[in-house]
Structure 1
Amino acid sequence: MKAVLLAAGAGERLLPLTATRPKHLIKVAGKPILQYCLEAVKHAGINEAVIVTHYMDESIRSYFGDGSKIGLKISYVEQPKILGTGNAAGVAEPFLDGDFVLIYGDLLFGRDAVKDVLAEFKSGKTAAVMGVVPVDRPENYGIIEKTADGKVKGIIEKPAPGKAPSNLANAGVYVFSKDVFEKIRQTKASVRGEWELTDAITMLAEEGKTVLAAELDKGDWFDVGRPWDLLDANLWALNRMEHKVLGTVEEGAHLIGPIFVAASARIRSGAYIEGPAYIDEEADVGPNCYIRSGSYLGRKTRVGNAVEIKNSIIMDGTHVGHLSYVGDSVFGERCNLGAGTITANLRFDDGKIKMMIKDKVVDTGRRKLGAILGDGVKTGIKSLFMPGVKVGAGSWVGANCMVERDLPTGVVVTLKQDCEVKQRE
């Protein structure tokens, strides 16, 4: 049996981070999201995978190569246009010769998830088994409807509040027989002009084919669709990592709790690190800084004197040199923060923080949320970021500026001020 992983989408809701990388390559706890999916496939006893790509196709191919580094044989096929999950699955058909696993490659789930869904499929004669997970807000997901005998009757996309037939959401992990491709070809385009895999599943059920649901643990599944989801996903992954200190830890540094320190990383004297935390290769931490739980410091990052990092993702090559606070934030690669840069992460009224997503104001549901910076952002001294703001890749924020709203890619923000100069008496 082979696995198909859908990794074609551009991830527009994750901008500005996805302006320079596919969402599937965003790292949490040291590994890209897609790698967690591939490792779950391997854990289920599957040795061959087909990755369906489109956006920044070459980045994914270059990162995973032939799959030998993670013990898989990986093939690639490009979806010519983004035309929905059904169309994406369809382009993989020539690579398959029987039953297969299909996974949305922008999800995080426990390593047993694929194994459990596959076991349900093998337990009887079924056309499909789909992983499902209980959710608190069904109106945000595709929700399954069941028959009296527990089979899947259909999938309702984002039902109106209070109208959902259950609280079981489509988890994006499936096992199919090849019958599904006939149904994909019979589906009609949605109002968005896309062909949806869920429509094909509903057609299978309506024709009397057996479609079953395998319920996954709610705490072991994340839909990483929006920037703040990355913080939850990162913490989830950190709580499951191996505690290991391989790098250099100077005398006077303190490491408390589960922490991974890569072999070429250096923790300088006076650094205080609370786990779970992950310090990647060639990271340079300290002296005299505070890394709080839930933080991932990427490769070649630099965190210097009097810096506090709390529950944040700092991507490769980013420098937070000194006298700065970064809380509940995600910073892209190769950012450089001037002294005194502060991310505010809490409203005065203690209310939920909102963020602009695709031109709509969205309630994040989070009481604490800092800033999201794209790759290559630079800040001058005493730059301030209000909760929930996003800054596009390559933008520069000048000294003493307070960023209160989102900034696009490649802009320069400076503060105009009038200074009076007098002769001393």
Structure 2
Amino acid sequence: MKAIILAAGEGSRMRPLTYTRPKVMLPIANKPILEHLLIEVREAGIREFVFVVGYRDERVRGYFGGGDQWGVSIIYSNQRRQLGTADALRSVKNLVDGNFLVINGDVIVDQKDISQLSRRNSNTVGIVEVENTRELGVIEVSGDRVVHIYEKVKKPTSHMANTGLYLFTLNIFDAISRTSKSPRGEYEITDSLQLMIDKGHPVSYQEISHWLDLSYPWNLLLANESLLTGIEAQNLGEVEGNVVMKGEVFIGKGTVVRSGSYIVGPVIIGQNCDIGPNCCIRPYTSIGDDCHIGSAVEVKNSIVMNGSKIPHHNYVGDSVIGEECNLGAGTKLANVRLDKSNIRVANIDTKRRKLGAIIGDRVEIGINASINVGSAIGNNTIIGPGAVVSGVILPNSKLF
């Protein structure tokens, strides 16, 4: 059996992080979302993959290659224009010869659910019950059948959401050939399934036990917390004397943790990092490769991507920091409103009381800057010394 992984989209709701990479390549616990998914699918017994790529596909191809590192086979199909999930599947028709899995490349799921789904013999949709389905695909069921599928409706009629996991038979391609563009201007696989249902062809469902929605940047923090919970302590680097480590802390090759550092796991630190001296890294923090966390710096519940520097007298909490960023000495990222209400980003309620900043790649911040809660800063932005930053900052901006 083959697994078709849909990885062509940008993920515009993840901006500013996706200005420079596709959503599926955003790191959680120091691995791209897509790598976590590949591993779970492989552990479910599937070794043949087709990655449907498009937006910044070089990031996916360059990282995964042919799949040898993971003991799998990966071939690629290009969707140059992102015209929807049904259009993506149309491009792989000649690459499958039997039942096949289709999985959105931006979901966190469990191998047990994938294994169970792969053993089904009819067209099946993976579903999960959630409190709010407003920004998700909605599924209505009766008995053991799906009776209606909606794609992101304003007034949902059900609490059952489409997880983006499917088992398809070859007859799905006939329905795809008859699928028209949706009001969103895309060819939706959910419309193809509805065509089958309307013609009397059975579509089943399977409830998924573990599924994380990754729609917005702050969702990465919850997923990071979930995945770090399962790590095991390991030290592949160098830890100097007078370092305190509690809980599960993973330290990568070539990393030096200097005297006076205080680290409380679960924490993962990548390769060739310079940590400390006299810094504090608190639980649920992921630090990528080639990073510097310096003296009198505190980082908690955050994702810091490869090559970023947080070198002197900084506070970073509940934040996502892109690649190759630099925070000047004394710069702080606020993470709680004074009135303790939920934090909003671009007028979207994040449902979080604690959220710092979402910072794109290669952002340079001068000394003693203050970054307000819920700030979203585009890539290649320069922020001057002492600046106070709030709201959404477009890429390539200069603030002084």
Q: Which moved further from structure 2: 195-204 or 325-334?
A: 195-204
Q: CA deviation at 1:206?
A: 2.4
Contact 1:40–1:113 (CA<8 Å) still a contact in 2? no
The answer to whether the Cα contact below 8 Å between 1:133 and 1:215 also exists between their aligned partners in 2 is: yes
5 Å-filtered alignment, 1:17-416, equals 17-119=17-119, 121-122=120-121, 126=122, 128-147=123-142, 149-161=143-155, 163-164=156-157, 166-217=158-209, 220-356=210-346, 361-414=347-400
In the alignment, residue 350 of structure 1 is paired with which amino acid? K
CA contact (8 A) 1:132 1:214 kept: yes
Query: Is contact 2:8-2:55 (8 Å) kept?
Result: yes
Moved more, 172-181 or 110-119: 110-119
Task: Give the Cα–Cα distance (whole angstroms) in 2 for the partners of residues 200 and 65 of structure 1.
Answer: 31
TM-score (norm 1): 0.92
Answer yes or no: is the 8 Å Cα contact 1:335–1:377 preserved in 2: yes
1:336-359 deviations in Å (ceiling 9; x for gaps): 111111011111111111111xxx
Shift of 1:240: 2.3
Q: Deviations over 1:97-154 (max 9, x none)?
A: 11100000011112322112123x14xxx2x11211111112221111112x221112
Query: 4+ residue runs of structure 1 moved beyond 4 angstroms?
Result: none
Cα 1:241–1:90 shift into 2, 3 Å: farther
Q: Alpha carbons of 1:252 and 1:378: their partners in 2 closer, same or farther (altered >3 Å)?
A: same
Retained in 2: the 8 A contact 1:313–1:329? Answer: yes
SS at match of 1:61: helix
Partner-residue secondary structure (3-state), 1:139: coil
**Distance in 2 separating the partners of 1:110 and 1:288:** 38
TM-score, normalised by the number of residues in structure 2: 0.97
Q: Tell me, what secondary structure is at the counterpart of 2:352?
A: coil
Aligned-partner Cα distance in 1 for 2:311–2:197: 58
Distance apart, 1:68 and its partner CA? 0.6
Distance, in Å, in 1 between the alignment partners of 2:214 and 2:330 is 31
2:111 is paired with a residue of what secondary structure?
coil
Tell me the distance in 1 between the aligned counterparts of 2:111 and 2:252: 23
1:257-279 Cα shifts (integer Å, max 9, x gaps) = 11211122221111111111110
State the Cα distance separating 1:207 from its structure 2 match.
2.4
| Alpha-carbon distance in structure 1 between the residues aligned to 2:22 and 2:335 | 26
Q: Which amino acid aligns with 1:269?
A: S
Deviation at 1:364, TM superposition (A): 0.7
User: Retained in 1: the 8 A contact 2:11–2:22?
Assistant: yes
Q: Aligned partners of 1:155, 1:74: CA distance in 2, in Å?
A: 31
Q: Which amino acid aligns with 1:78?
A: N
1:295-337 Cα distance to aligned partner (Å, 9 max, x none) = 0000000000010001000000100001000011111111111
Q: Which has the larger radius of gyration?
A: 1
Distance across 2 between alignment mates of 1:221 and 1:308: 31
Q: Deviations over 1:284-303 (max 9, x none)?
A: 11111110111000000000
Quote the residue 1:421 is aligned against: none
1:198 Cα deviation from its structure 2 partner: 0.7
- SS of structure 2 residue aligned to 1:140: coil
Instruction: Tell me the percent identity.
Output: 40
Alpha-carbon distance, 1:160 to partner = 4.1
3-state DSSP class of the match of 2:392?
coil
Partner AA of 1:289 in structure 2: C
Question: What letter corresponds to residue 37 of structure 1 in structure 2?
Answer: L
Mean alpha-carbon deviation: is it higher for 3-12 or for 110-119? 110-119
Distance 2:134 2:45 in 1: 35
**Offset of residue 195 of structure 1:** 0.4
CA distance in 2, matches of 1:242, 1:183: 46
Partner SS, residue 63 of structure 2: helix
Distance in 1 (CA, whole Å) between partners of 2:63 and 2:7 is 13
User: Aligned partners of 2:125 and 2:270: how far apart in 1?
Assistant: 35
Q: Distance in 1 between matches of 2:25 and 2:136?
A: 23
Distance 1:172 1:243 in 2: 33
| C-alpha displacement of 1:406 | 1.7
